[in-house]
Amino acid sequence: MNKFASLLAERSVQKHLETYFGTHPSLICGVSGGVDSMVLLHLLHRAGAQVTVVHVNYQKRGEDSELDQQLVEEICRLYKVECVSVRFDASDSTGNFQAWAREKRYGVFRDLKREFRADAIVTAHHRDDQVETIYQRLMRGSGMEHWGGMQVYEQGLFRPLLELGKEDIQMVAEQNGILYRTDVSNLDVAYGRNFIRLSLEPELDRFFPGWKSNLLGLGQRAREFEAMRDLLLDSIAGKGISGKGISGKGIAEEGVVGEGSKLSLSALVPLPRTLWALLLSSWIRSISGVTVRHGVMGELSSIDSLQTGQQISIGMGFSLMRDRDWLVLLRNESPSEEMKGAKEQTVKQTVEQTAKQSADLWVLEKEHVSSGLHTSTGLRFCLKTWSKRFKSEDFHRGELVMDEASLVFPLTLRHWQDGDRIQPLGMEHTRLVSDLLTDRKVSAAEKKRAWVLISFDQTVCAVIFPHVLSDGSLGVIANPVRCTIGTRSVLIASRASFGAGANPINPNKHL
């Protein structure tokens, strides 16, 4: 980028804003005080975006951390934008500090996005970050579909600087006199990204000139791969599904997922076996939204060895069954007698084990929450069918909304226990429920009154706070049970006061 760096950067950011949001979007912008995020704030301000700045102070670098916060707050006052500064104690982290800090940071971002009803969370990731992301994915053995790296906009995250390099950003800062701070921890090669940037990249530059461009080019290869995969999948689906391809109308049988849920094995068999797992997992994800676990991929490669009536458990309440020449994707809503017996035994054991510690245990069967059910805890559960495209804004803030298809009934409602873990919405990793409650400022005295909702497969589906918090939130749902655009039935948890017709449930009663 040349002396017109600022103009080109402004046009790039403006283009992305208009493409994804139109004019004057509301954004939650993470600003650390470093050059990347300070340039990002400058460009968003120039573009006229409505920005709420979030600065997270981990108090890890003493006075330097305080000076970072001071600079961000002063620039926000100058720009007349709201700044929310949040403090965490770095000494509370265990294990990987970077992962802990990221989890804390994005937790704050998501909470504020909901509170302000913002359009997106904005981060200052740039082209050099993209290179490091793709390199790390390659080293971890990620499949080709992940070689594309980060996208400018995906899943509520907006990265308008992704097409700019670090040198471009530095030049914008110099040309506009943008103040920023330098974090000396970025020089610590103990962190993976720093090691790549400081130790590995210079050697790669020496031995393989142009390697960064080649690595970024893998994104195009990944898109080509995805296009070929989808064409092949559409061809198979068009031959083997009732209706018009994968998006056509499927068969309407009890337990069958719905559109495009039945695939002819004879359409798959002529293809190389090495492609079976890839195509079947893509087909399953396109219909159910479920990502097939790595351990299941091997079973999909030998799907023809299944006998009629046998199933492969996909997870998240789905299974793939062979029915003669058909592969049928099922929701496990009508369990076999054997499964029912196993459920009853597990429920009985769970009740007996938990009852020894506490009387506060409820086992909720699907048929009893279908029309709405109160518990004596003041919590209400009900199922709701959703015929149009799911939108979170269609529900109240004080409700927890979960994809019913991702739940395995019966559900267990109990007080949380030491060691309980949840994968919070939007997070890649699990965390202790106790830490989650601490982060949400639930007092030590009230913590013990918080609840967890547990699926039959022992997944913690939700953490329910002992009371509605000041921001109006009732709790936190787990990422695996999140609703998607394909969600058609939801389980809603809410607070309810008892009135006429209320039907409180007795503890330890199996409903």
Strand partners, 262: 328
Q: Which residues pair with 331 in a beta bridge?
A: 318
pLDDT at 189: 67
Q: What is the mean pLDDT of the chain?
A: 81
Confidence of residue 122 (pLDDT cuts 50, 70, 90): very high
Q: Are 495 and 468 in contact (CB under 8 A)?
A: yes
Domain 341-495 has CATH 3.50.40: yes
CA dist 255 and 336 (Å) reads 12
Q: What is the pLDDT of residues 135-185, one digit of tens each?
A: 888 887 777 777 878 899 988 899 999 999 999 999 999 999 999 998 877
What is the rounded CA–CA span in Å between residue 237 and residue 232?
9
Regarding predicted confidence, which is higher, 344 or 440? 440
Q: Which residues pair with 32 in a beta bridge?
A: none
Mean per-residue pLDDT, 304-330: 87
Using CA atoms, how far residue 381 sits from 30, 390, 461, in Å, is 36, 19, 13
Q: Where are the domains of the chain?
A: 5-215, 241-331, 341-495
Which pLDDT band, with edges at 50, 70 and 90, does 291 fall under? confident
The lowest-confidence range among 190-194, 237-241, 332-336 is: 332-336
Rounded to 10 deg, the angle between the 35-47 and 166-176 helix axes is: 60
> Distance between CA 412 and CA 455 in Å, rounded?
7
Interhelix angle 211-240/127-139, rounded to 10 degrees, is 60
pTM of the model: 0.56
Least confident of 66-70, 377-381, 498-502: 498-502
User: What is the gyration radius of the CA atoms in the chain, in angstroms?
Assistant: 25
Contact 462, 425 (CB under 8 A): no
Lowest mean per-residue pLDDT among 8-22, 89-103, 277-291, 332-346: 332-346
How far is CA 256 from each of CA 20, 261, 404, 499, rounded to the nearest angstrom?
Answer: 35, 7, 15, 38
Question: Among candidates 420, 426, 483, 419, which has minimal Cα distance to 102?
Answer: 426
Dihedral over alpha carbons 415, 417, 419, 425 (to 10 degrees): 10
The CATH architecture assigned to 5-215 reads: 3-Layer(aba) Sandwich (3.40)
pLDDT band at 5 (very low <50, low <70, confident <90, very high): confident
**Is 241-331's fold the same as 341-495's?**
no
How does residue 394 score in pLDDT terms, banded at 50, 70 and 90? low
Among the residue ranges 56-60, 288-292, 380-384, the one predicted with the least confidence is: 288-292
Does the structural domain 241-331 have CATH classification 3.30.465.60?
A: yes
Per-residue pLDDT tens over the stretch 20-71:
998 788 999 999 999 999 999 999 999 999 999 999 999 988 999 999 999 9
Strand order across the beta sheet in which 318-323 lies: 262-264, 326-331, 318-323, 311-315
Closest by Cα among 451, 449, 461 to 491:
461
Q: Report the pLDDT value the prediction gives residue 238, as an integer from 0 to 100.
A: 64
Q: What is the pLDDT of residue 130?
A: 92
pLDDT at 354 over 70: no
Q: 118-152: string of b/e by CB count within 10 Å (b at 16+)?
A: bbbbbbbbbbbbbbbbbbebeeeeeeeeebbbbeb
> Using an 8 Å Cβ cutoff, are 153 and 20 in contact?
yes
Query: For residue 120, what pLDDT band results from cuts at 50, 70 and 90?
Result: very high
* Number of residues in the chain: 511
Give CA–CA dist 464/54, Å, rounded: 26
Residue for token pair 């676990």? 293
> Cis peptide before 270, with omega less than 30 degrees from 0?
no
Instruction: Enter the tokens of residue 339.
Output: 């499964």
CA distances to 31, 139, 172 from 7, in Å: 22, 37, 9
Q: Residue 486 pLDDT more than 80?
A: no
pLDDT at 260: 47
Q: To which residue do tokens 């948890």 refer?
A: 493
Q: Say yes or no to pLDDT of 244 above 80.
A: no
CB 42 within 8 A of CB 49: no
Give pLDDT, residue 28: 96
207 or 235, higher pLDDT: 207
CB 93 within 8 A of CB 101: yes
Which pLDDT belongs to residue 239? 57
Percent of the chain's residues with pLDDT above 70: 83
Of 363, 341, 342, the C-alpha closest to 352 is 363
Tell me: pLDDT of 460 over 80.
Answer: yes
Query: How many Å apart are CA 503 and CA 267, to the nearest integer?
Result: 52
| pLDDT the model gives residue 50 | 93
Closest CA to 284 of 272, 296, 274, 295: 296
Q: Which residues sit opposite 415 in a β-bridge?
A: 451
Are 380 and 97 a contacting pair, CB within 8 Å? no
Contacts (Cβ under 8 Å, ≥6 apart) of 450: 415, 416, 433, 437, 442, 463, 464, 465, 466, 475
Which residues, at least 6 apart from 369, have a Cβ–Cβ distance to it below 8 Å?
381, 382, 383, 491
Q: Please list the residues that pair with 98 across neighbouring strands.
A: none
Asked if pLDDT for residue 207 goes beyond 50, the answer is: yes
- Provide the 10 A C-beta neighbour count for residue 304: 12
Q: What is the pLDDT of residue 259?
A: 45
